[in-house]
Amino acid sequence: MEIPVGEYLPDGEFEGEEIELAAREVAVYDGLQAANVHPGDVYGVILRLYDCADGYRVHELLWSVVPGRSAVASLYPEEEEGYGTYTEQEARDEWGLYFRDYFESR
């Protein structure tokens, strides 16, 4: 599967790359969160947890609920030269709050 990493501009154009990912989506979280920089700004977020052959990855799509702003798609963990994977424990520690049901069922 291909995972978008980059920026969706307000006009709908995507600037970034498609990362080829050999993985299985195992959990999804969606919700709203307030920004730390400007507490009045509210962002929508979708997180997808992927089980890969060598660990876990998380794809994040983050957008402002205020019209006319761009959205950002990220893949974690980021490393200096590309993208790595989390061990199960690292994924639990970093993302367990969002994927509690998945990790508790393991």
Question: Could you give the number of structural domains in the chain?
Answer: 1
Quick check: 80 pLDDT over 70? yes
Other beta carbons less than 10 A from residue 89's beta carbon: 10
Q: Where in the chain does DSSP place strands (E)?
A: 2-8, 14-20, 23-34, 42-52, 55-64, 71-76, 78-79, 82-83
Range of the domain at 7: 2-104
Quick check: 89 pLDDT over 80? yes
Length of the chain measured in residues? 106
Residue 69: what pLDDT?
Answer: 83
Instruction: Give me 52's structure tokens.
Output: 């890969």
Model pTM score: 0.89
For residues 5 and 79, the answer to whether their CB atoms sit within 8 Å is: no
pLDDT tens digit sequence for 51-72: 999 999 999 999 888 778 889 9
Nearest partner of 61 among 70, 34, 80, judged by Cα:
70
Beta partners for 56?
Answer: 51, 86
